[in-house]
Amino acid sequence: MRVQSRKGDTIGYFSKLFSIPPYMLSFKKVEEELKPGTMVTIPGYESKRYHAQKGETLLTISEKLSIPVDMLYLMNNGNKKQEGSIWSIPSKNRSPLFSGKKEYTSFELERDLRLLLDAYPFIRCQTIGRSVLKKPIYMLTVGSGPKKVHINASFHANEWITSGILMDFIHQYVTAAVFDDDIKGFSARQLMKEVTLYAVPMVDPDGVDLVLEGPPDHPVYGAYALKLNRGSLDFSNWKANIRGVDLNNQFPALWEIEKARKPQQPSPRDYPGSYPLSEPEAAALAAAADQLEFDRVIALHTQGQEIYWGFEGREPRESEAIVRRMEADSGYKAIQYLDSYAGYKDWFIYKHRKAGFTVELGYGVNPLPLSQYDDIYRQSLGIFLACMTM
């Protein structure tokens, strides 16, 4: 919901009027006077129509609905309406803006991002890179705490269900913060003071769209992907980016081992590329981790209901305590070491010596069916919160 500021209004005043922390309304200073006519988004509220009955006044409506009278003035541009007039009144709205339980293409991501950013102005969004086909790779930033936690999704094309899971978590998190609710016993507002969450909902938009929509209308890569897929229009087994490079085999953490034993040319899955970080999507994720100095990372994958948390003995001591909480809260199995290298989690631990986790959501054959979505989301909540609160 948006309201128009008047002479003398400040973010601090709107904060008190709507019982919402100032940082959720604007990044301006609390006491800074707003220019009259400035539109301010009030998250968690919507405008509803109210038909005034005979004899009702602004004051009686305020008393009847327990709404501050100045809130009504603000909502109606200071007009003193007559009997029978249609008023705009504020109403708290906890209804979800969207659901991630769908075939989550890059178009769906763009749509849901617009809804989310329009409703919650305190979420920051930036483009940290672009895919081979120049689609933006978005990163959302929520909160301002000293602990920096990063979560990403859809490194692999046919694991697109992870994008919906992550977007739904962000939506639940910010909604809980606006209404000062808890998530599984943790105060969302307090978490925002303690944690800065950096989320990349879709690492491989080209690959996801290929799996869900088929070959792109592109003079090179449409035919190229079809050729790599042996002429089949069924791309459900495709894990790579549009150039046939597996993005989670792209990182300089014993990459040469994977290079020697994986496909030696572009393929729907497992090809590590001709050199580390050759692909723009992988390079963007590595640059973000280096520049922002994340404290912990989670890479969401499917499937197996497992959490991988070690690499070559370089993981910090705190990793085990965190993963044991993840394990207890999700029912997933924690596995310290795996005969696998060159993944994002591997590289983060190898280079930064900080806690990193690869989480294999759900169980079955990729792409996982949406019938598993609700169970996966419930399990993932404990994993996200353990990483943010431990």
Bridge partners for 141 per DSSP? 124, 198
In angstroms, the CA 199 to CA 184 distance is 20
| DSSP 8-state symbol, 272 | -
CA distance 170 to 377: 12
Helices assigned H by DSSP within 141-263: 161-178, 188-194, 205-213, 221-228, 255-261
- Site of tokens 């672009």: 130
What are the structure tokens assigned to 323, written together? 């993963």
Q: Is 116 left (phi over 0), alpha (psi -120 to 50) or beta?
A: alpha
Q: Please pick, among 108, 279, 327, 360, the residue that the annotation labels catalytic.
A: 360
Show the DSSP H helices in 229-366 as ranges. 255-261, 280-292, 318-330, 344-352
Question: Would you say 81 and 34 are in contact if contact means Cβ atoms under 8 Å apart?
Answer: no
User: At residue 210, what are phi and psi to the nearest 5 degrees?
Assistant: -60, -45
Active site residue 360: yes
| Among 232, 248, 240, CA closest to 266 | 240
Token couple for 239 = 């894990």
**Chain center to CA of 296:** 16
| DSSP 8-state code for residue 343 | -
Which residues are known to be catalytic?
A: 360
